Amino acid sequence: QVRLVESGGGLVQAGGSLRLSCAASGRTFTTYVTGWFRQAPGKAREFVAAIVTRTGNGTYYADSVKGRFTISRDNGENTVYLQMNDLKPEDTAVYSCAATTSRSGWGVNSLRRYDYWGQGTQVTVSS
């Protein structure tokens, strides 16, 4: 089992920045990719970014956040970060991290790829 705990959410003005953290515990050596997803009120959960956490340094982003968000990892701390800059009101959502032990199958932008999920952290961007 892998346990994921997010932190770093909050209220920020448009144009501001936040850094979210996803701390993993348990059988972290089995995870292959860690991703961030978000869900705004009344909307479906959507992919934000993902990073390969076991080998290599592959990163993936949704078009809506490219150039503004950066995903990174600290394997020594078993933590994945999401640096969010130039935040917009439409970025307001609950952000959740997820991890998968699968090396293949569904794409990293698919909810179905992921085996473990955190509880989420609220990000609110005011205009």
pLDDT in tens, 85-103: 999 999 999 999 999 988 8
Closest to 49 in 3D by CA, of 31, 66, 36, 64: 36
- Chain segment 32-67, per-residue pLDDT in tens: 899 999 999 999 999 999 998 877 679 999 999 999
What b/e readout covers 25-61, taking b as 16+ CB neighbours within 10 angstroms?
A: eeebeebbbbbbbbeeeeeebebbbbbbbeeeeeebb
DSSP state of 77: T
